[in-house]
Amino acid sequence: MNNLKSSGFTCWLTGLSGAGKSTLGIEITKALEELSVPCEYLDGDVIRTNLSKGLGFSREDRNTNVARVGFVCGLLNKHGINTIVALISPYRDAREQLKLQIPNFIEIFVDTPLDVCIKRDIKGLYKKALAGEIAEFTGISSPYEQPLNPDITLKTHKESVSQCVETVINYLQRQGKI
């Protein structure tokens, strides 16, 4: 498929736990559906319990998880289904590999400071990680490598959800994706 309009795109939201990726992913998906843009939302937590069940949190397992999700996105995109992904995907090399494999890959960095993510910790994961109860927790005992040149950067600690969604929709329109 050489015609970019005939294939889908992938919006990949990356960032720390608690940054707002899932909330934004859901709202971006709703906004696209309202515009009659076919899309599928893939959430990291749901992926972990289905597609990537059994994987741990080592670098290799995390990269395998990212690669699996990227493979699904590529299949859907090939058939004109756009994908919105909310996945920590902490390692830059795994995300860079996605850019090579998915023709219409849009990296969206949900740039929220660690202290804000810790305050938002609805699941209590940071509290457990800081107490040493969770090993290999991204941002605490395991690294998060920020994107060097993301297509979009969203600052959920400074902008509302609707402002962030509008930024993504405007980008997609400017790029001729929708």
Give me the DSSP letters along 30-95. Answer: HHHHHTT--EEEEEHHHHHHTTTTT--SSHHHHHHHHHHHHHHHHHHHHTT-EEEEE-----HHHH
Q: For residue 49, what pLDDT band results from cuts at 50, 70 and 90?
A: confident
Q: What percent of the chain has pLDDT over 90?
A: 78
pTM to 2 decimals?
Answer: 0.91
Superfamily of domain 4-112+143-174: P-loop containing nucleotide triphosphate hydrolases (3.40.50.300)
Supply angle C-alpha 78, 36, 9, rounded to 5: 30
| pLDDT for the residue 59 | 84
Domain boundaries, the chain: 4-112+143-174
On the CB side of 133, CA atoms within 13 Å amount to 6
| pLDDT for the residue 23 | 96
User: Which residues participate in catalysis according to the annotation?
Assistant: 89
CA–CA distance, 57 with 104 (Å, rounded to integer): 28
Q: Return binding residues for ATP.
A: 15-22
pLDDT in tens, 111-129: 999 999 999 998 899 999 9
Kindly state the average pLDDT of the residues 49-62: 80
